[in-house]
Amino acid sequence: MSVVPVEAVAGAVAATGEDTAAEAALAPKARLFPSLAAVYRAQLSRARVARIPLLFVATFQSVGIMILMRGVVDGGSEARAVVAGSSVLVVAFVALNLLAQYFGQLRASGGLDHYATLPVPPSSVVLGAAAAYASFTVPGTFVTAVVGSVLFGLPLTHLWILIAVIPLSGAALAGLGAALGLLAPRPELATLLGQLGMSAALLLGVLPADGMPVLLQYARDLLPSTYGVEAFAGTFDSSPDWAAVALDLGVCAGVGVISLAAATWAYRKASVR
Amino acid sequence: MSARTGTEAGHGDDAVCVVRELVKTYPATRGRRGVPATPEVRATDGISLEVRRGEIFGLLGPNGAGKSTLVRQLTGLMRPDSGSVEILGHDIVRHPERAARILAYLGQESTALDELTVALAAETTARLRGLPLKEARVERDAVLDELGLGSLASRPLKKLSGGQRRLACFATALVGERSLLVLDEPTTGMDPVARRAVWAAVDRRRAERGTTVLLVTHNVIEAETVLDRVAVLEEGRVIACDTPGGLKTAVAGEVRLELVWREKAPLDVPEVSALRGSAEETGRRWTLRLGPDEARAAVAAVTGGEAFAALDDFTLATPSLEDVYLALGGRTDRAKGLVKA
């Protein structure tokens, strides 16, 4: 089926005459931001095919939890914690749980090879996917926050804080999810870890902290989503303590940097075997 | 070519990819419940080969011969235990990340692209090969057009048939030009039209740019028609390396005779029972590799008299690469991995 005569091939080679150096020139590397943007855009487009039903699930779950909790808590700080916790739970569901599953499956099926044989910085693949998954959570988080505020009679004044809470807690949770998915030796384990992470975010984030045993309170402090929840809950005051909010968000950002770095390391480790 | 400087001794004049004594061993695994223990496996066992510029070089062998493991080491996806891989002068064992800047790899899996549309898969891959957005889109359109994928451009890969999906993945290997294409069974599941599109695209790049192709296949027919040279692998070793024609001369004196009996072979006919010794039996089918004169005599014997009544069908064929593989000492039970279709 090969219709090109050998002479034609040889002619083409002679014409280009480029094979002079011992090491041929390399094609350029893809730069960080353009490739991050390309991965982000590709991941975002997957939502249309595969993710939208799951976003509904995430939102319904959080709204359902708030309706349940309405009979248990009666306003005040507990209500704030429930609304903030349920909103951030949407982020945990998508960014941690679903991203862990995605990377777990990608690793197990050999799909990482595609990225590993392209000249992209590993961080662009991880950051692009993490950013896309964090973006998926935006509508669900807003819907949950608004419904919750109305349900518990909380002010809607400072909901804009979500613009900071979603990306920062999204970074922390997505990094954790990606790292879990990439490090899990089997995809089932990645799914399990993602589910566990989400359950932890649910229990430790939504339930009011005051009544918890000491051990659980420590666990709560270790969970990255906690700081997003606290920051958001703090803004329901009529005059919020912005310094405390900023501190919580700062912790979120710090954890985000660490967990994304860990995810990038895990990606490197997973892509060359 | 006289301007060439600093070429290490021992390389062919136009070697694109030089592999020396490549060894990769998968460690033994301990058995668990439901999972039997596996012994240590040498997936590549001292492989050496050289791929020249502008040729289509094939790796042929049954399943489990070590083809994919070899390719993964050439593309920097796997580190060999020992040995060297040099592509266009670059040491890929020491700098695996450079492979991505020299070659394009089409693996067997498409999971990274499955949920993207054909157009976005090609565009994203082009951008990740370092092309700016505009160029990536121009390349995307050109390649999709060339492969006749235009009408499928807006459909997700997941929704396509196996062959169409494979063709879309092949398109992603072509965007963002690379001088070496490493293709792991590119035409699996494709219809003849798609196959022709693949080989036409490969030939065009060879003619215009001197592109080199390293092709993994276990399809003998394809190997015979498209390859310039082929390395036959078995159990992690290269058991032969030559042009398909050159390999066939190794068994030039032989023809293959296949006999299919209606129920069972009439062993009471002396000529038939004499043939049995050299026949390879699978059910009602006997396969014999014979010299031309012997074959003629055998055909005469089974097409006359009593034997003919018991004969259902027979074919006489010149040797194929599969026969070469068997003649080289390839184990018959493993040869079933070589698909002839």
What contacts B12, CB < 8 A, 6 or more positions away?
A: B50, B52
Q: How much is the average pLDDT of A16-42?
A: 78
pLDDT score for A9: 45
The DSSP string of B29-79 is B--BTTB--B--EEEEEEEEEEEETT-EEEEE--TTSSHHHHHHHHTTSS-
Place of tokens 């169409």: B164
Nearest C-alpha in A relative to B90 = A23
According to DSSP, the residues that pair with B232 across neighbouring strands are B60, B240
Of residues B147, B145, B151, the one with CA closest to residue B169: B147
Of residues B129, B133, B321, B293, the one with CA closest to residue B224: B321
CB B109 within 8 Å of CB B72: no
pLDDT score for A5: 47
Give, as one character, the DSSP assignment of residue B71: H
Residue A114: which of B113, B117, B127 has the nearest Cβ?
Answer: B113
Residues of chain B above pLDDT 70, percent? 92
Q: How much is the average pLDDT of A185-210?
A: 87
> Is residue A22 scored above 70 in pLDDT?
no
> In which region does residue A186 sit, left (phi positive, over 0), alpha (psi from -120 to 50) or beta (all else)?
beta
Model confidence at A273, in pLDDT bands (50, 70, 90)?
low
What token pair was written down for B226?
Answer: 């498209």
Of residues B129, B136, B112, the one with CA closest to residue B178: B129
* Distance of alpha carbon B107 from alpha carbon B109, whole angstroms: 6
Model confidence at B13, in pLDDT bands (50, 70, 90)?
low
Model confidence at B166, in pLDDT bands (50, 70, 90)?
very high
Please state, rounded to an integer, the average pLDDT across all residues of chain B: 85
Q: How much is the average pLDDT of A75-92?
A: 89
What token pair was written down for B271?
Answer: 């000529």
Residue B105: which of A19, A23, A117 has the nearest Cβ?
Answer: A117
B90: how many CB neighbours lie within 10 A of its CB?
Answer: 18
pLDDT score for B20: 93
CB A45 within 8 Å of CB B117: yes
Strands B90-91 and B255-261: unpaired
pLDDT score for B338: 53
Looking at this predicted complex, what is its ipTM? Answer: 0.83
CA distances from A50 to A61, A182, B268 (A): 18, 20, 66
Which residue has better confidence, B89 or B268? B89
**How many A-B residue pairs are in contact by the CB < 8 A criterion?**
169
Is the CB of B206 less than 8 angstroms away from the CB of A110?
no
3-state DSSP helix/strand/coil % of chain B, to nearest 5? 35, 30, 35
Q: How much is the average pLDDT of B168-181?
A: 94
> Is residue A269 scored above 50 in pLDDT?
yes
What token pair was written down for B334?
Answer: 């493993």
The distance of B153 to chain A (nearest Cα, Å) reads 14
> Is residue A254 scored above 90 in pLDDT?
yes
Of residues B110, B99, B171, the one with CA closest to residue B141: B171
SS3 for A235?
A: coil
Q: How much is the average pLDDT of B8-27?
A: 76
Which residue has better confidence, B320 or B129? B129
> Is residue B289 scored above 50 in pLDDT?
yes
* Tens digits of residue pLDDT in B194-232: 999 999 999 999 999 999 999 998 788 888 889 999 998
Please state, rounded to an integer, the average pLDDT across all residues of chain A: 86
Least confident interval from A158-162, B94-98, B115-119, B290-294: B290-294
Residues, chain B, total? Answer: 341
According to DSSP, the residues that pair with B47 across neighbouring strands are B22
CB B234 within 8 Å of CB B326: no
Which residue has better confidence, A138 or A53? A138
* Distance of alpha carbon A51 from alpha carbon B156, whole angstroms: 14
CA distances from B86 to A262, B49, B72, B89, B104 (A): 32, 11, 14, 6, 16
Q: How much is the average pLDDT of A95-116?
A: 91
The amino acid sitting at A81 is A
> Is residue B193 scored above 70 in pLDDT?
yes
* Distance of alpha carbon B135 from alpha carbon B231, whole angstroms: 37
* Distance of alpha carbon B208 from alpha carbon A16, whole angstroms: 9
Q: Which of A13, A106, A109, A133 is the best substitution to test chain B (most B C-beta atoms within 10 A)?
A: A13
Q: How much is the average pLDDT of B28-48?
A: 83
Is the CB of B97 less than 8 angstroms away from the CB of A109?
no
* Distance of alpha carbon A234 from alpha carbon B320, whole angstroms: 77
What interhelical angle do A32-46 and A122-152 show, nearest 10?
50
pLDDT score for A172: 92
Which residues on chain B are in Cβ contact (under 8 Å) with A110? 107-109, 111
Q: How much is the average pLDDT of B296-320?
A: 83
> Is residue B167 scored above 50 in pLDDT?
yes
Residues, chain A, total? Answer: 273
* Distance of alpha carbon A229 from alpha carbon A59, whole angstroms: 16
Q: How much is the average pLDDT of B47-72?
A: 90
pLDDT score for B2: 39
pLDDT score for B330: 58
Model confidence at B3, in pLDDT bands (50, 70, 90)?
very low
pLDDT score for A119: 93
Model confidence at A34, in pLDDT bands (50, 70, 90)?
very high
* Distance of alpha carbon B65 from alpha carbon A218, whole angstroms: 53
* Distance of alpha carbon B28 from alpha carbon B240, whole angstroms: 28
* Distance of alpha carbon B174 from alpha carbon A132, whole angstroms: 27
According to DSSP, the residues that pair with B233 across neighbouring strands are B238
Which segments within B235-326 are labelled E, that is strand?
Answer: 237-242, 255-261, 279-282, 285-290, 311-317
Which residues on chain A are in Cβ contact (under 8 Å) with B176? 27
List the domain boundaries for chain A. Answer: 6-271
Give, as one character, the DSSP assignment of residue B55: -
Least confident interval from A14-23, A184-193, B155-164: A14-23
A residues 3-42 near B, CB within 8 Å? 3-4, 6, 8-10, 12-13, 16, 19-24, 26-31, 34-35, 37-39, 41-42
Strands B255-261 and B285-290: antiparallel
Look up the pTM and report it.
0.81
CB A232 within 8 Å of CB A84: yes
Residue B90: which of A2, A23, A28 has the nearest Cβ?
Answer: A23
Q: How much is the average pLDDT of B116-131?
A: 94
Which residues on chain A are in Cβ contact (under 8 Å) with B196? 1
Which residues on chain B are in Cβ contact (under 8 Å) with A109? 109, 111
* Distance of alpha carbon A140 from alpha carbon A55, whole angstroms: 7
CB B187 within 8 Å of CB B195: yes
A44: how many CB neighbours lie within 10 A of its CB?
Answer: 16
Is the CB of B203 less than 8 angstroms away from the CB of A3?
yes
Q: How much is the average pLDDT of B109-133?
A: 92
> Is residue B143 scored above 60 in pLDDT?
yes
Which residue has better confidence, A166 or B36? A166
Q: Does A110 touch chain B (CB under 8 A)?
A: yes
